[in-house]
Structure 1
Amino acid sequence: MHMNSAPHLLTEDRAEYERILDDALRNAHDRPDLAAVGQRLNAEQLRTMALNATALITTAAAAEYEHYTKIREDMRSPAAAASTRISVPASAADGASQNGAGFAAVIAVLAPVLAGTAALIFLLVGYILKMLSPTPSFAATMVAAGWFFAALTAAAILVAAIGLLLTALRNGATQLPAEESTGELPDEVSRAKEAWRHALLERGLLPFLRAALADPSADPTSAAPPRHVSRIPKVGYSGPDYSSPSEGSTSGQRPTFTSPDFTSPDFGGPEHQPE
């Protein structure tokens, strides 16, 4: 038994099929064999015929399409597994440290602001008290406290800057491997897709359009392909040819049987001896 079958065109690839068809019809006048577009059949009628015969046309590029879909599925599975492995631990870690990260962020923002405000107040009050004629005894303490909070403000700003730098480096380190690991995948898929597109155009769509233009009885609304389409293989099964033996060679001939010839022995006296 011989099988000649093609994978069914997936729904996600129908838009690509229509795009190739539209490009072929748009550039039909650049091809001498399609220069008759618009005389008996216009582009819209040919498009309807090609859409009705999608299953027949895509069979011409069955090998390339099968290779393209196989590579695409192989590329999607590892990518999905990798994204799952990366996202699940990351989400778990984010959920576990959400409260701690939020508290640290609040402290990193408020500490410089509060320390800077306290330093400004203490320094301003302390120096104003020093300007009084009898200088209060706690004026020097206020100035010292102001410089202490000023130093604390500078330290808080430095810690916040270091924290932001470390966060940026950590996020960059987690994103670069993912980009590098998936950078080569689209190239292989695109090559397989381009091979399918070329085979579909050259061995499927263009022969179909030429046959439709050459067939005077082609119906644009019919799903039947033009009669002149002969380069696109059919999909189906062909069984072995079973035929009965010829009757003329054996008619009237039956095996015949003959019984053995039994004869009794010849008995006689001495006078009847066999010669």
Structure 2
Amino acid sequence: MHMKSAPHLLTEDRAEYERILDDALRTAHDRPDLAGIGQRLNNEQLRTMALNATALISAAAAAEYDHYVKVREESRTTGGVSAIDAVLAPSGDESDSGPGAGVGVVVTVLAPVLAGTAAVIFLLVGYVLKMFDPAPAFADSLLTAGWFFGAVTAAGILAAAIGILVTALRNSSTQVPAEEAGDELPDEVARAKEAWRHALLERGILPFLRDALADPSADPLSGVPPRHVGRIPKVGYSGPEFSSPSEGATGSRPTFTSPDFTSPDFGGPEHQPD
């Protein structure tokens, strides 16, 4: 069974449909066949009628739209796989650095923590001992060690902050070109989109507008599409073709013959068996 159905535009393509329609209405004064706009139907009324007939108009460019959606989805799938590979695969610098990079990260994270803990312990014990009278001789040594580890903690925190800032700047510098490149469609997708736009305009929107202007039955207040839209393809289903046997052919039906049963010969009393 062959089926023809009006394509329903995806939500992301409805804005593009309206943009093409608005462009056609805005430049209608450059087309002699649309010179009647404003006499009986104005731009807003024609726009409302065309939006109500979106499925009917878009059917004129069904083949181009199907191809455009197909190549766009393939491009998105390929791009998504590439992005995942880029995230999972290590960069050249990381792979060359070896396990030393992991050790450096651990040291950068743990050094401030350990130094800060040691500074707190030494300073706390040192000041507690200073409260005794007389204070132990090693109290000053504990305070000196505490302040030393405090300085190490501050230096570690500063180094970690600088590392985070450098990493953020490096990642942002690599992401900006990717986002800018993403604004441009691949060549195949761009060609398919342009083909759909051209077919939608030339075979769908413009014929619809011409027929709406030429159809006196179109109600400019209701926004209902014109009843006679000659160049918009019809939508429906064509039933399957069934081939019936020719009427003139005569077929021979099978015949059944009943078996012949022969009854035994029975005679009169004089012919009784011995």
| TM interval, short-chain normalised | 0.5 to 0.7
Contact 2:6 2:56 in 1 (8 A): no
Tell me the TM-score normalised to structure 2 length: 0.55
- Alignment-derived partner of residue 202 in structure 2: 202
Contact 2:59 2:232 in 1 (8 A): yes
- Alignment-derived partner of residue 228 in structure 1: 228
Distance 1:55 1:85, change over 3 A: same
Distance 1:240 1:214, change over 3 A: same
Are 2:51 and 1:51 aligned?
yes
**C-alpha separation between the residues in 2 aligned to 1:221 and 1:79?**
47
- Alignment-derived partner of residue 108 in structure 2: 103
- Alignment-derived partner of residue 26 in structure 1: 26
- Alignment-derived partner of residue 160 in structure 1: none
What are the residue-to-residue correspondences of 1:245-256 with 2, within 5 Å?
A: none
The Cα shift of 1:9 comes to 0.6
- Alignment-derived partner of residue 77 in structure 1: 77
**C-alpha separation between the residues in 2 aligned to 1:17 and 1:196?**
10
The Cα shift of 1:53 comes to 0.1
The sequence identity of aligned pairs, in percent, is 70
**C-alpha separation between the residues in 2 aligned to 1:177 and 1:52?**
41
The Cα shift of 1:198 comes to 0.2
Contact 2:67 2:192 in 1 (8 A): yes
3-state DSSP class of the match of 2:186?
Answer: helix
Letter in 2 for 1:198: H
Distance 1:227 1:29, change over 3 A: same
Distance 1:184 1:216, change over 3 A: closer
3-state DSSP class of the match of 2:219?
Answer: coil
What are the residue-to-residue correspondences of 1:1-275 with 2, within 5 Å?
A: 1-88=1-88, 100=105, 103=108, 186-220=186-220, 222=222, 224-240=224-240
Contact 2:7 2:55 in 1 (8 A): no
3-state DSSP class of the match of 1:57?
Answer: helix
**C-alpha separation between the residues in 2 aligned to 1:243 and 1:171?**
68
Please give the per-residue CA displacement for 1:55-95, whole angstroms capped at 9, x wherever unaligned. 0000000000000000000000011111122224569x8xx
**C-alpha separation between the residues in 1 aligned to 2:185 and 2:103?**
34
**C-alpha separation between the residues in 2 aligned to 1:70 and 1:175?**
27
Distance 1:202 1:172, change over 3 A: same
The Cα shift of 1:7 comes to 3.1
3-state DSSP class of the match of 1:8?
Answer: coil
**C-alpha separation between the residues in 2 aligned to 1:176 and 1:85?**
18
**C-alpha separation between the residues in 2 aligned to 1:204 and 1:68?**
16
Contact 1:49 1:221 in 2 (8 A): no
**C-alpha separation between the residues in 1 aligned to 2:79 and 2:243?**
55
The Cα shift of 1:178 comes to 6.7
**C-alpha separation between the residues in 1 aligned to 2:41 and 2:172?**
58
The Cα shift of 1:233 comes to 1.3
**C-alpha separation between the residues in 2 aligned to 1:234 and 1:218?**
18
The Cα shift of 1:187 comes to 1.8
Determine which structure has more spread, i.e. the larger CA radius of gyration. 1
Contact 2:52 2:223 in 1 (8 A): yes
The Cα shift of 1:171 comes to 6.9
**C-alpha separation between the residues in 2 aligned to 1:25 and 1:102?**
67
Distance 1:43 1:12, change over 3 A: same
Contact 2:56 2:232 in 1 (8 A): yes
Contact 2:37 2:43 in 1 (8 A): yes
CA-based RMSD: 4.2
The Cα shift of 1:221 comes to 5.3
**C-alpha separation between the residues in 1 aligned to 2:241 and 2:223?**
31
3-state DSSP class of the match of 1:237?
Answer: strand
Contact 1:211 1:226 in 2 (8 A): yes
The Cα shift of 1:234 comes to 1.8
**Uncovered stretches (5+) of structure 2, i.e. residues with no partner:** 95-100, 113-162, 249-274
3-state DSSP class of the match of 2:44?
Answer: helix
Please give the per-residue CA displacement for 1:14-66, whole angstroms capped at 9, x wherever unaligned. 00000000000000010000000011000000000000000000000000000
